[in-house]
Amino acid sequence: MPEKSEVRFSKFIGIEALCLLLIPLFFAAVWIPVYQTTAGNVLMQGSIFFLLWDFLQEGLIYLFYWLSVAFLGASLLLFGWKKSLPFLGFYLLGAAIRSIGTVIASAIVLRSFDDVFKANLADASLEILYDFLLLAAFCLIFYLIAMRNRDLEARKTLLPTTAGPVPMPMHLSVLLCLAVYFGVRMYGRIRYDIFLGAATGTQDIVWMVFYYVADLVLLIFGHFAVLLILKLITKKK
């Protein structure tokens, strides 16, 4: 009788867990201070630097959520709800570091701790709530598609280890998680565009369309990125 294979975390899980904290920490302690300092430089006004900076910033944020979806999905399918609580905490801690750390870093660079700082802290609290609701949505999706009506051993077989193709429930779970995040971002972009008003020229229209298409491309790319991360952090033994 062949020996039963066991699915578990690979050696890369420690690197991913660390990235869930290091990316927000880097964002708050390095990224935002550099941006605030550069934005105050008159010589940099109108520079393409800020456009490139925005693209890279979006990439960092997307990477955080890609890692989060992979981390949450793997922990839920490997350990179930109760034993996954520490892993879920990594996500919330990273989100808190990014939100609150960004406000504090900006205040330190700008040397401003007035009422605006307090208002920004309140907004940061709302961002943490937003990340908590995203976490709840991700967990609900994994539960409804990959966990319900399956015992722990059956759930483990859904994880895309390097040994074979990705099962369809995992494909669908990851895609829906990213679609939820994509939908929230689209809502934010549409609200922002309405606030700014109608485009005043061809260039404005081109950039507007570009941002929407870029988000759609990142949604599709992110699906395969998350599955690749899942393959890296899980293995059969």
Name 54's Cβ contacts closer than 8 Å, sequence gap at least 6. Answer: none
Cβ pair 77, 159 in contact under 8 A: yes
Average pLDDT for 30-53 = 73
Share of the chain above pLDDT 70, in %: 88
77 in any annotated domain: yes
34 in any annotated domain: yes
130 in any annotated domain: yes
Tens digits of residue pLDDT in 127-166: 999 999 999 999 999 999 988 888 878 888 888 766 667 7
Share of the chain above pLDDT 90, in %: 15
Tokens of residue 152, six digits: 């722990």
1 in any annotated domain: no
Average pLDDT for 174-195 = 87
pLDDT beyond 60 at 5: no
Considering the chain, what is the average pLDDT of its residues?
Answer: 82
pLDDT at 57: 83
The three-class DSSP label of residue 2 is coil
pLDDT at 2: 41
Tens digits of residue pLDDT in 64-115: 999 999 988 888 888 888 888 888 888 889 999 989 988 888 888 878 787 7
Q: How many domains does the chain have?
A: 1
93-121 burial, b for 16+ CB within 10 Å, e for fewer?
A: ebbbbbbbbbbbbbbebeeeeeeeeeebe
139 in any annotated domain: yes
Give helix 85-110 / helix 32-39 axis angle, nearest 10°.
Answer: 20
Question: What is the DSSP secondary structure assignment for residue 163, as one 8-state letter?
Answer: T
CB atoms near residue 174 (< 10 Å): 29
2 in any annotated domain: no
Q: At residue 19, what are phi and psi to the nearest 5 degrees?
A: -65, -35
Structural domain range at position 41: 7-236
205 in any annotated domain: yes
Question: What is the DSSP secondary structure assignment for residue 7, as one 8-state letter?
Answer: E
The three-class DSSP label of residue 228 is helix
